[in-house]
């Protein structure tokens, strides 16, 4: 039984719900794909052959060039199909879907053939080990034809998305991953198929994706009509104008991966195997970013076709903000898990070796592949130091916001509720603190503690001292914000009724007034998180924050600053860039929260 004709379901209804549905369904299928690939690596690991692991990893990374071209075609085809559906032109949408499938098949076959022609010379040029090269060529001869099959399956999945069938599109990809998940242990442990068995299992999964996608698109939704020669030329040109720049953009990722892997290639199979595992972990960590273009493309296309520009702009705004939030969350999680995922504890002397000092990043001559961003003068891995330093910066920033918020809420509620001399006294104290720059107040407070505490205790409590020092002025902004809201709320009827019922002032402030003041406070807290991180880094850079023996981005920048012009630029540049990105993302999130909670902008 066929389903009703496709229609533009994204031109009506709440955009937030549409965006979340499309992102979550796409993300679920992407996570399943990455999880199954990771399981395949674990099964290959039971063979205890590093050359096989390295070959499979290198083959998968380089075959992403084919996938990138296929992604470009899916972006162009799905965008035009969804736009035609949004305009209510179903026959044109069907012809565009047919042209998209033809272009996808041609592009996938051509890119697959070019890949097979280029992979041999590429491995020779980068000096890939002979045993890895042999396994690699065997692997890609099996998997490349199925990469073409996967390209058509991706197009079918994205056509379902263009028609608003996000869940069915998810099931198309899940059918393939489920097939691979079932076949992998069979070919490894039962059939003893080894690497070739894993390759054939992956091919079977891609065939399953193609089969289910074809049934849904052709039979259930009748979404495809093969265009005539003239219409085909017209549609191919229109799709190509979108697909070409999209493909070139997505090719940047495999190009960077190939460059990185070519750097590792000369260090042997063990390094290649490790790079394979790292690549899969990074794909899993940032999987949402791979999903976003395909998730919001149909929503944008349908609303663009319907001429609803306000919904187009709203969709772009929602997606960019969720991307920022996810990126910051992933970076924060990496920082908090630094003791377990960092390659080295840069503050454990037993793990440091002066023979590894002053090594450049892996893409420069004289590097070591185990130190991605190089090392400093003490042999500390710069990437590990960044993870540990950002962990401390985030902890101090969050603790400062919590302490400042607690003080500011109490002071602001008391000033706004009681008024009179209480209000005047508290606000004059706050005005006095605001008149002095935050950095100067923090330096003064830390200097006092440095004089009062013995050296050992001072270093132990350095993080606590920084939190107290930064909070000395940060609480004033919360207090002023809460006071302004409390002055408005205390005159309302529900507060007057609570007073007549002899409810205690503390209970009135906490249960009646406080909930109505939290919206502006949330915005202030988000913006102040970036400020707190920056102030902590500044104090550590000046030498009055975290000691050199403790991790901090500011300390890293200070220690590396003296080597900036002596050739060891990586010691200071990478921590500074990471700090700048964290503060920028936090500030952008604060701006988004302010706009989202401002009723005047709705």
Place of tokens 């549905």: 21
- 238 within domain boundaries: yes
pLDDT at position 601: 46
- 530 within domain boundaries: yes
pLDDT at position 265: 60
pLDDT at position 241: 84
Place of tokens 């023979």: 355
Does residue 597 surpass a pLDDT of 70? Answer: no
Task: Please answer whether residues 139 and 200 qualify as being in contact, where contact means their C-beta atoms are separated by less than 8 angstroms.
Answer: no
The mean per-residue pLDDT over the stretch 250-269 comes to 68
- 345 within domain boundaries: no
The confidence band for 245, taking pLDDT boundaries of 50, 70 and 90, is confident
- Out of 279, 300, 316, a domain closes at 316
Query: Among the ranges 51-55, 206-210, 261-265, 422-426, which has the highest mean pLDDT value?
Result: 206-210
Q: Indicate whether 216 and 125 sit together in one domain.
A: yes
- Out of 290, 316, 342, a domain closes at 316
The confidence band for 565, taking pLDDT boundaries of 50, 70 and 90, is low
Q: Indicate whether 181 and 302 sit together in one domain.
A: yes
Q: Indicate whether 522 and 435 sit together in one domain.
A: yes
Measured CA to CA, the distance from residue 280 to residue 285 in angstroms comes to 9
- 518 within domain boundaries: yes
Q: Indicate whether 303 and 411 sit together in one domain.
A: no
- 563 within domain boundaries: no
Task: Please answer whether residues 273 and 60 qualify as being in contact, where contact means their C-beta atoms are separated by less than 8 angstroms.
Answer: no
pLDDT at position 50: 67
The confidence band for 121, taking pLDDT boundaries of 50, 70 and 90, is confident
DSSP 565: T
**Phi, psi (5° rounding) for residue 343?**
-60, -25
DSSP 217: I
Does residue 205 surpass a pLDDT of 80? Answer: yes
**Phi, psi (5° rounding) for residue 381?**
-65, 125
CA neighbor of 119 nearest in space, from 66, 59, 69 = 59
The mean per-residue pLDDT over the stretch 290-310 comes to 75
CA neighbor of 472 nearest in space, from 530, 505, 429 = 429
Q: Indicate whether 108 and 249 sit together in one domain.
A: yes
Q: Indicate whether 303 and 390 sit together in one domain.
A: no
The mean per-residue pLDDT over the stretch 252-272 comes to 66
pTM: predicted TM-score of the whole model, two decimal places: 0.64
Question: Which residue intervals of 419-517 are DSSP H helices?
Answer: 420-434, 438-452, 455-460, 462-489, 493-500, 505-507
| Weakest mean pLDDT among 9-23, 36-50, 208-222 | 36-50
The confidence band for 273, taking pLDDT boundaries of 50, 70 and 90, is low
Measured CA to CA, the distance from residue 294 to residue 301 in angstroms comes to 11
For residue 108, what are the domain limits? 27-316
| Token pair for 510 | 């906490």
- 411 within domain boundaries: yes
User: Which is more confident, 320 or 218?
Assistant: 218
The mean per-residue pLDDT over the stretch 390-413 comes to 83
Whichever domain contains 514, its CATH number is 1.10.3720.10
| Weakest mean pLDDT among 31-40, 461-470, 531-540 | 31-40
Task: Please answer whether residues 482 and 413 qualify as being in contact, where contact means their C-beta atoms are separated by less than 8 angstroms.
Answer: yes
pLDDT digits (tens, 9 = 90+) for 340-375: 777 777 776 777 777 777 777 767 777 776 777 777
- Taking 3-state DSSP, the helix, strand and coil percentages for the chain, each rounded to the nearest 5, stand at 80, 0, 20
What rounded mean pLDDT belongs to the chain?
Answer: 76
Q: Indicate whether 415 and 292 sit together in one domain.
A: no
The mean per-residue pLDDT over the stretch 168-190 comes to 82
Q: Indicate whether 311 and 222 sit together in one domain.
A: yes
The mean per-residue pLDDT over the stretch 84-98 comes to 83
Three-state SS at 379: coil
Measured CA to CA, the distance from residue 448 to residue 453 in angstroms comes to 9
Q: Indicate whether 407 and 296 sit together in one domain.
A: no
Q: Indicate whether 295 and 389 sit together in one domain.
A: no
Question: Which residue intervals of 87-129 are DSSP H helices?
Answer: 90-126
- Out of 270, 293, 316, a domain closes at 316
- 333 within domain boundaries: no
pLDDT digits (tens, 9 = 90+) for 475-519: 777 788 777 777 766 666 666 666 666 666 666 666 666 666 776
The confidence band for 6, taking pLDDT boundaries of 50, 70 and 90, is low
pLDDT at position 504: 65
- 2 within domain boundaries: no
Q: Indicate whether 152 and 281 sit together in one domain.
A: yes
Q: How many domains does the chain have?
A: 2
Measured CA to CA, the distance from residue 444 to residue 61 in angstroms comes to 53
Task: Please answer whether residues 462 and 497 qualify as being in contact, where contact means their C-beta atoms are separated by less than 8 angstroms.
Answer: no
Q: Indicate whether 401 and 257 sit together in one domain.
A: no
User: Which is more confident, 395 or 509?
Assistant: 395
The mean per-residue pLDDT over the stretch 47-63 comes to 71
Does residue 1 surpass a pLDDT of 50? Answer: no
Measured CA to CA, the distance from residue 3 to residue 216 in angstroms comes to 9
Residues comprising the chain, all counted: 602
The confidence band for 294, taking pLDDT boundaries of 50, 70 and 90, is low
Task: Please answer whether residues 439 and 527 qualify as being in contact, where contact means their C-beta atoms are separated by less than 8 angstroms.
Answer: no
Measured CA to CA, the distance from residue 276 to residue 280 in angstroms comes to 6
């Amino acid at each position: 039984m066929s389903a009703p004709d496709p229609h533009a379901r994204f031109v009506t209804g709440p955009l937030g719900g549409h965006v979340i549905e499309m992102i979550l369904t796409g993300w679920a299928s992407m996570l399943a794909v990455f999880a199954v690939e990771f399981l395949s690596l674990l099964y290959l690991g039971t063979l205890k052959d590093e050359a096989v692991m390295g070959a499979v990893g290198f083959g998968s990374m380089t075959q992403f060039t084919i996938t990138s071209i296929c992604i470009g075609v899916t972006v162009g085809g799905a965008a035009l199909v969804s736009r035609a559906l949004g305009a209510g032109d179903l026959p044109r949408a069907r012809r565009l879907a047919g042209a998209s499938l033809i272009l996808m098949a041609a592009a996938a076959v051509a890119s697959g053939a070019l890949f097979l022609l280029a992979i041999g010379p590429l491995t020779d040029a980068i000096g890939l080990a002979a045993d890895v090269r042999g396994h690699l060529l065997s692997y890609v001869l099996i998997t490349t034809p199925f990469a073409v099959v996967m390209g058509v399956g991706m197009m079918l999945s994205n056509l379902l998305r263009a028609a608003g069938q996000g869940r069915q599109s998810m099931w198309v990809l899940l059918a393939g991953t489920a097939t691979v998940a079932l076949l992998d242990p069979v070919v490894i442990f039962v059939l003893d198929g080894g690497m070739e068995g894993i390759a054939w299992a992956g091919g079977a999964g891609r065939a399953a994706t193609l089969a289910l996608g074809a049934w849904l698109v052709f039979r259930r939704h009748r979404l495809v009509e093969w265009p005539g020669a003239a219409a085909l030329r017209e549609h191919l040109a229109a799709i190509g104008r979108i697909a070409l720049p999209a493909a070139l953009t997505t090719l940047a990722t495999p190009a960077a991966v190939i460059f990185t892997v070519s750097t590792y290639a000369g260090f042997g199979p063990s390094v290649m195997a490790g790079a394979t595992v790292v690549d899969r972990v990074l794909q899993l960590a940032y999987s949402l970013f791979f999903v976003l273009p395909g998730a919001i493309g149909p929503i944008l296309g349908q609303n663009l076709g319907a001429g609803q520009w306000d919904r187009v702009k709203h969709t772009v705004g929602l997606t960019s903000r969720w991307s920022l939030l996810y990126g910051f969350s992933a970076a924060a999680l990496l920082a908090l898990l630094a003791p377990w995922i960092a390659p080295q504890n840069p503050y454990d002397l037993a793990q440091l070796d002066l023979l590894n000092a002053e090594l450049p990043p892996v893409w420069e001559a004289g590097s070591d592949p185990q130190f991605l961003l190089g090392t400093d003068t003490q042999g500390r891995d710069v990437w590990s130091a960044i993870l540990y330093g950002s962990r401390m910066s985030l902890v101090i920033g969050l603790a400062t916001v919590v302490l400042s918020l607690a003080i500011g809420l109490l002071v602001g509620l008391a000033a706004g509720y009681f008024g009179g001399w209480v209000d005047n006294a508290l606000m004059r104290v706050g005005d006095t603190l605001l008149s002095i720059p935050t950095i100067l107040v923090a330096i003064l407070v830390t200097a006092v503690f440095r004089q009062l505490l013995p050296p050992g205790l001072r270093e132990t409590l350095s993080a606590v001292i920084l939190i107290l020092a930064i909070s000395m002025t940060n609480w004033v902004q919360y207090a002023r914000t809460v006071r302004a809201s409390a002055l408005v709320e205390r005159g309302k009827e529900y507060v007057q009724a609570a007073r007549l019922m002899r409810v205690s002032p503390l209970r009135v402030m906490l249960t009646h007034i406080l909930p109505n003041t939290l919206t502006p406070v949330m915005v202030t807290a988000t913006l102040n998180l970036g400020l707190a991180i920056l102030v902590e880094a500044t104090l550590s850079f000046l030498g009055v924050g975290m000691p050199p023996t403790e991790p901090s981005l500011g300390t890293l920048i200070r220690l590396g600053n003296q080597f900036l012009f002596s050739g060891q630029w990586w010691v200071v540049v990478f921590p500074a860039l990471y700090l700048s990105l964290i503060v920028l993302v936090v500030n952008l999130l604060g701006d988004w929260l302010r706009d989202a909670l401002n009723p005047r902008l709705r």
